[in-house]
Amino acid sequence: MVKLTGLKKIKTAVFISGTGSNLKNLVKFSKIKNSPISIDLIFSNTSKAKGLKFSNQFNIKKYVSSFKNYKVAETKILNVLNKENIKFICLAGFMKILSKNFIKKFNGKIVNIHPSLLPKYKGLDTHVKAIQNKDKVAGCTVHFVTAKLDSGKIILQREVKILKKDNPISLAKKVLRQEHKLYPSAIKKIFN
């Protein structure tokens, strides 16, 4: 794992596919004096990702490459990551699966936020599943990324109560609010 050396922040890329609320939150966190990371690159597999607007807003470089041919896309990204001297990657609502080869190149330096209390509910529709199963608690997890989907070592989790009145949409909102607290805490935990 990369260690925080001196006062230099670790150059970080955030990978997104959608709204980017976690990205925005991580950028704000990165600007705090004792944050271990700086956000230096935003990557998306689609130019439709709303979160790309934060590139202009916060003056952060962005790079978009479709994953139609993932090998080509990953080679391009790796070039950009090397060029920008990126040492750490945060996946935040990134809807593509990275190859074994890519993960190996950034071994132990890629983390993801997932909207469930892993190991429960890997993959999609976590909130629907939690409600269908009549769970009493839901939550979110930050974990290291390995070749096996949503299965890497857990760094930190936060729970929320599921109330009778909750539906997948209300639950997603509640969990997202916790995600915004969890991601910075997990990053601090990694580098402290």
Binding residues for ligand GRF, per CB under 6 A? 16, 18-22, 51, 92-93, 113-115, 140, 176, 179
The H-assigned helical ranges of 10-167 are 21-30, 53-58, 70-83, 100-105, 126-132
Where b means 16+ CB within 10 Å and e means fewer, 53-67 reads ebbeeeebebbbbeb
**Among residues 85 and 173, whose Cβ is nearest to ligand GRF?**
173
- Bond into 119 cis (ω within 30): yes
To ligand GRF, the closest distance from the beta carbon of 125 in angstroms equals 11
Rg (CA), the chain: 16
**Among residues 15 and 69, whose Cβ is nearest to ligand GRF?**
15
**Among residues 4 and 129, whose Cβ is nearest to ligand GRF?**
129
Active site residue 114: yes
To ligand GRF, the closest distance from the beta carbon of 190 in angstroms equals 17
Q: Give the relative orientation of helices 168-191 and 21-30 as an angle to the nearest 10 degrees.
A: 30
CA distance 15 to 9: 18
**Among residues 20 and 36, whose Cβ is nearest to ligand GRF?**
20
To ligand GRF, the closest distance from the beta carbon of 19 in angstroms equals 4
To ligand GRF, the closest distance from the beta carbon of 180 in angstroms equals 9
DSSP letter string over 12-48?
EEEEESS--HHHHHHHHHHTSTT-SEEEEEEEES-TT
Q: Which residues are identified as catalytic?
A: 114
